[in-house]
Amino acid sequence: MKTNYILLNIFVLLFLIKTNANCQTTTTESLKIRKIAITEYLKAMVDISNEKYDSAIVKFNSSLKSKPDFIEALEYRMICYGKLGKKDLENQDKENLAKIKEAKIDEEFIKDFKIFSESSKNIESDFHYEVYPNDDEGYFKRANEKSYDLKIKYLTKAIEINPNNFKYFKDRGFYYERTNYYSLAEKDYRKVVELNPKYELYEEEMQLLEKCNSCNGSGFTSTLVISKQKVNSKTKSSTNENKNPCTNCKNGKTFYYKNVILIREKK
């Protein structure tokens, strides 16, 4: 009798665990479907603002496939049909709209709609770029992160969208320079000069001090600017190596004399 009672409790527990897991899966899938509906709707609204009604209808169709009773998507698709002179489809949406408005309001969907709509306006949100994938200015503004890697990442995104804005190359070149990727910085700076004649290339000769190659001790990385001079677009950077004694072990310490190509505004 006692054994049967234990087995019964085990079966009940397993049933509850399975039921809970199914509920969580259902909730996740439901949220995913709602997100698709809202994302496609917001993207369609961008198309409407650009008077791309055919493209907007395609996105509204996708939105309504995920959420057939999405009133706003149906309303604006109806408007698009009207703009394109498709009266039969416009009237069909008008009839469907009247039926949907009589149905029970989906409070959960309305809540999600508000959350995603607000998120789409925030350039710091990844969701913003799902709705506005070509927002190069957003990526440019987002490059205010403390991490140089993230700054470079977002500026690279901006450049991929709009490779004709010199500001993006100028800033990315600066961050490459700050992280000692001089060849990449030079490449960006040359692009700046190509895009904006207000800038010119110049050569900066620097002494780069690295850790001692003998004791790997007290030496540290530092930079000393020796000279600056204007150069033409064909000038290339160069590196020369010399030896100086280490202050710690009195043996070899390596100095690199590097000519780095940078930019500045013309005077």
The pLDDT tens digits for 126-159 are 889 989 999 999 999 998 878 899 999 999 999 9
pLDDT tens for each residue of 45-60: 999 999 999 999 999 9
pLDDT tens for each residue of 52-88: 999 999 999 999 999 999 999 999 999 999 999 999 9
Clarify whether residues 157 and 120 are in a common domain: no
Q: By C-alpha distance, which of 233, 240, 239, 226 is closest to 263?
A: 233
Alpha-carbon gap, residue 180 to 174, rounded angstroms = 10
Number of domains the chain contains:
3
Mean pLDDT highest for which of 24-28, 42-46, 219-223? Answer: 42-46
Mean of pLDDT over the chain: 79
Last residue of a domain, one of 84, 116, 131: 131
Clarify whether residues 165 and 106 are in a common domain: no
Clarify whether residues 217 and 183 are in a common domain: no
The terminus-to-terminus CA distance of the chain in angstroms comes to: 97
Check which CATH number belongs to the domain holding 106 and give it.
1.25.40.10
Alpha-carbon gap, residue 86 to 48, rounded angstroms = 16
Alpha-carbon gap, residue 69 to 101, rounded angstroms = 9
- Secondary structure of residue 242 in the 3-state scheme: strand
- Secondary structure of residue 179 in the 3-state scheme: coil
Alpha-carbon gap, residue 58 to 163, rounded angstroms = 29
pLDDT at 152: 95
Q: What is the pTM of this model?
A: 0.69
Domain extent, residue 165, equals: 136-196
